[in-house]
Structure 1
Amino acid sequence: MDDLFDFQEQLLSRLSNKERYLLNEIDWTERLIGIKGARGSGKTTLLLQQIKFKLSKDAIPLYATLDNLFFLENTLVSLAKAFVLKGGTHLFLDEVHKYPRWSRELKLIYDQFPALKIVFTSSSILEIYKGESDLSRRAITYHLKELSFREFIFFDRGLTLPKLNLKELLENHKEIAREATATLGSPIKDFENYLNYGAYPYFLENKTNYIQKLVQTINLILEVDLHAVENMVYEDSRKIKKLLVAIAQSAPFTPNISKLSERLGMSRGFLLNAIKILNRADLVMELYKPTKGVGALTKPEKLYLNNPNLVYALGKQNTEIGTLRETFFANQMKHLHEIHLAEKGDFLIDRTYTFEIGGKGKTSKQIQGVKNSFVVRDDMEVGALNVIPLYLFGFLY
């Protein structure tokens, strides 16, 4: 265990103090907290920042990643027991999906050590409540999204902009945009940069090699995380990679399941499950019309890559601005609001608000007569009436 404490100190000594939005939204008083998110979104940093900057001075924390060699000869339960005997108060466990008995042992630790607070992270692919032990009555779970545009500006330029809720954005977008431009100058260049390399915090390490790093991250998700979470063999993960490339080449993609399964050599059942996995992995977004039921055997109406950076990394020949606009808007809404394809316009949010996404020439013709409808444009700094600048939807978290 001493090696784990040493490793924790090494990580804390070089920790950034730039915080993700979720750090201050989690109820850290809960006894068992799960944090899911895409690889590279900043889950490890989140845990370490909680340890270094937020815990009281009398707390005794321990951070451990579950792929550490320590766990080849030691169980999670034995670590927790030894840690509690040493006075430990907070156990932070990273990448639990890489430990075969994670759910059973977390349940045992929770039941045996009622004074111990446990926080764990996992791949977004992992369905936490479907582990071999039921944690649904014990764990409070959160999802860490990629960087919002607002966070990107803070990480990149050190400028702080207010977080908005959707209602105040729709009602006060003109005043909000004026204040944003007063802070940023023109936000258009920042927005272009975000679309290219702003979704994951490791852009701070090296912007030049960002796309290469993102492609490596995608490969790790498909080759390592899929095996750890789904026990998927290499050949099946290669099939899913082929599917992801096929989606990227023509996203937004309206899937013809019969043709796609024939083209990629997959059964219908495997293909539909693969799409669900890519959605859970935060690599694609499945979208449906609000009238359509969603189930394991239901094909999505449309598939988008999960964020604009993935479009640049996987679909270089498909980086037209219309695709980037729609991908950005849908991504910023995902996990925060209920999102559907609209009957008129592009997206229906919370079954209430209709949005038509476009550029300079976009009018409200397609949504004329639709209640609570808005045009969202990417070529403007300040909007008017029901026309709202696209970049403002990056201030929602």
Structure 2
Amino acid sequence: MINLAKYNFHWREGFSYGYDVKRGLFEELVRYADVRPVVGVVGLRRTGKTVLLKQLIDYLVENGVKRERILYFSFDEVGASLEEVISEYQARLGVELAKAGNGGKLYIFLDEVQKLEGWQEQLKYYYDSFPDLKFFISGSSSLFLKQKAEESLAGRIFLFHLPVLSFREFLVLKGEGELAEKPEFFKELVKEQVLLYVRRQFPELVTADEGFIHLYVDSIVNKAVYEDLPKIFPIEYEDLLKRILYIVASNPGMITDYEAFANDLGISRVTLTKYISYLERGFLLQKCYNFSRNLLTSEKKTKRLYLTSPSLVVDLWEEPEFGRVVENLVVSSSGAKFFWRSGKDEVDCILVRDGEILPIECKYRSSIRKRDLKGLLKFLTAFELSHGYVISEDIESEEIIEGKKISIIPLWRWLLNF
């Protein structure tokens, strides 16, 4: 028998989970609270998926949904089938599922669903059989949801990614939201907060002591590489995943020749390709491709590897070069998929937004010379573009150089406005 009351404090009259500060994704999920498809939230461990689900439960209660018509269950610790969970819930309600819709929808929240063997087929059965059930699910990795959901839940699920904290979210959680709203009045304070933010992109690290950060981030990495990923993929070399992460952390944005990289690690190129794919699907690694207007061609070219959060970079490597950390921050926070390199000329980050190409060069310093912009200018000329961007430490200006508009933006402003 499953103790559902252990997971459903909201059944108590007057109870609220009380997580007042909302992530940006919350408002988007609210829009899908009553549509038919399953709502799935994926992301790295400890980004706040469970809190987000409980905030949605509070929202439903506040908007008139009866408390007992909302079920929350986590598969993180308890080994149970979905049938057992729902049967126990049905017994508690004292009504058959087929008749339960007479009182409106039943909202079912399933946390860490990837730990339920065959969850996708079980969920598909209830989704298809009982249209008055509305499911919200979460998982710690895209691989647990996307691969299997696409196979069994095609057309039945909307997936959303919950990333690490944005800079604005970090300030709000820290109680410094005024800095984000009026940065012009607090420039020096905002710059100081950026330096703290780099190591504290997880909600529980926002106000953490320095000594706690390493232990916390290390636990996230170890859980992912030694527990989560091996449950899904055949991991032959158990330490290889972490070795790859350490190498990328020591040199974020490294140009990656898979053949040479594999030789250095003493493995085959095929094995390296698979392990990098596992780390990508676990939200630990981000891959960028050398840009081409033919985006399919880009994927066949040179690649760069970054960690999905500079908090991981700083933790895994004791003394990273801060300019490279900033580059990782710009790439990971923007979700960039491209860089550009031609001979000795390169641009750190190429964004493609609604057909518009935005080249961004990271120069985290207090002075920028024209020769620092050589690669950016070459890119603008090669692709017949008129506007490029430079991320600086504290310079803010716009210049016309060789007929091209160059906007130089301080890192703090770029983070707040992105």
1:339 equivalent to 2:346? Answer no
| Alignment partner of 1:152 out of 159, 162, 170 | 170
Q: Provide, for residues 37-79 of structure 1, a one-character-per-residue CA deviation record: whole Å limited to 9, x for no partner.
A: 00011101100111123443334211111133251xxx20342
Aligned to 2:328: 327
* Matched-pair contact (CA < 8 Å) for 1:255–1:301: yes
Q: Aligned residue pairs: how many? A: 370
- 1:279 CA drift (Å): 1.9
Specify whether residues 262 and 66 from structure 1 end up closer, same or farther in structure 2 by C-alpha distance, changes over 3 A only: same
* Cα separation, 1, equivalents of 2:217 and 2:242: 14
1:22 equivalent to 2:40? Answer no
* Matched-pair contact (CA < 8 Å) for 1:33–1:139: yes
* Cα separation, 2, equivalents of 1:282 and 1:7: 27
| TM value normalised by structure 2 | 0.80
For structure 2, which runs of at least 5 residues remain unmatched after alignment?
94-99, 381-385, 400-406
Q: Provide, for residues 353-379 of structure 1, a one-character-per-residue CA deviation record: whole Å limited to 9, x for no partner.
A: 111111222245323372221121123
Which residue type is aligned with residue 65 of structure 2? Answer: D
* Cα separation, 2, equivalents of 1:138 and 1:161: 41
Q: Map 1:85-100 to 2 at 5 A.
A: 86=93, 87=100, 89-100=106-117
- 1:89 CA drift (Å): 1.0
Specify whether residues 4 and 16 from structure 1 end up closer, same or farther in structure 2 by C-alpha distance, changes over 3 A only: same
- 1:192 CA drift (Å): 0.6
Q: Provide, for residues 274-304 of structure 1, a one-character-per-residue CA deviation record: whole Å limited to 9, x for no partner.
A: 1122122222211101227669x95752111
Rg larger in 1 or in 2? 2
Identity of aligned residues (%): 24
Q: Map 1:318-397 to 2 at 5 A.
A: 319-334=320-335, 339-343=337-341, 344-350=346-352, 352-358=357-363, 359-363=365-369, 365-366=373-374, 367-368=376-377, 370=380, 371-380=386-395, 382-384=396-398, 386-395=407-416
Which residue type is aligned with residue 357 of structure 2? Answer: T
* Cα separation, 2, equivalents of 1:236 and 1:347: 32
- 1:118 CA drift (Å): 0.2
* Cα separation, 1, equivalents of 2:296 and 2:179: 36
* Matched-pair contact (CA < 8 Å) for 2:287–2:304: yes
* Cα separation, 2, equivalents of 1:312 and 1:80: 43
| Alignment partner of 1:69 out of 48, 72, 78 | 78
* Matched-pair contact (CA < 8 Å) for 1:362–1:375: no
* Cα separation, 1, equivalents of 2:7 and 2:388: 53
Specify whether residues 30 and 158 from structure 1 end up closer, same or farther in structure 2 by C-alpha distance, changes over 3 A only: farther
Aligned to 1:232: 234
| TM value normalised by structure 1 | 0.84
Which residue type is aligned with residue 50 of structure 1? Answer: L
* Matched-pair contact (CA < 8 Å) for 1:33–1:141: yes
Q: Provide, for residues 15-48 of structure 1, a one-character-per-residue CA deviation record: whole Å limited to 9, x for no partner.
A: 4322111111122223311111000111011001
Aligned to 1:49: 55
Aligned to 2:274: 273
Which residue type is aligned with residue 242 of structure 2? Answer: K
Which residue type is aligned with residue 58 of structure 1? Answer: V
- 1:240 CA drift (Å): 1.3
Which residue type is aligned with residue 391 of structure 1? Answer: W
Aligned to 2:209: 207
- 1:154 CA drift (Å): 0.4
* Cα separation, 2, equivalents of 1:300 and 1:64: 44
* Cα separation, 2, equivalents of 1:113 and 1:284: 38
Which residue type is aligned with residue 34 of structure 2? Answer: T
Specify whether residues 183 and 117 from structure 1 end up closer, same or farther in structure 2 by C-alpha distance, changes over 3 A only: farther
Aligned to 1:33: 39
Q: Map 1:237-316 to 2 at 5 A.
A: 237-291=238-292, 301-316=303-318
Aligned to 1:122: 139
* Matched-pair contact (CA < 8 Å) for 1:258–1:268: yes
* Matched-pair contact (CA < 8 Å) for 2:339–2:350: yes
Specify whether residues 14 and 114 from structure 1 end up closer, same or farther in structure 2 by C-alpha distance, changes over 3 A only: closer
* Cα separation, 2, equivalents of 1:184 and 1:157: 17
Using the TM superposition, name which of 382-391 and 303-312 deviates more.
Answer: 382-391
* Matched-pair contact (CA < 8 Å) for 1:345–1:354: yes
Aligned to 1:169: none
Specify whether residues 160 and 21 from structure 1 end up closer, same or farther in structure 2 by C-alpha distance, changes over 3 A only: farther
Q: Provide, for residues 172-195 of structure 1, a one-character-per-residue CA deviation record: whole Å limited to 9, x for no partner.
A: xxxx9xx42326663110111101
For structure 1, which runs of at least 5 residues remain unmatched after alignment?
163-175
Specify whether residues 3 and 294 from structure 1 end up closer, same or farther in structure 2 by C-alpha distance, changes over 3 A only: farther
RMSD over aligned Cα, in angstroms?
2.8
| Alignment partner of 2:158 out of 140, 149, 155 | 140
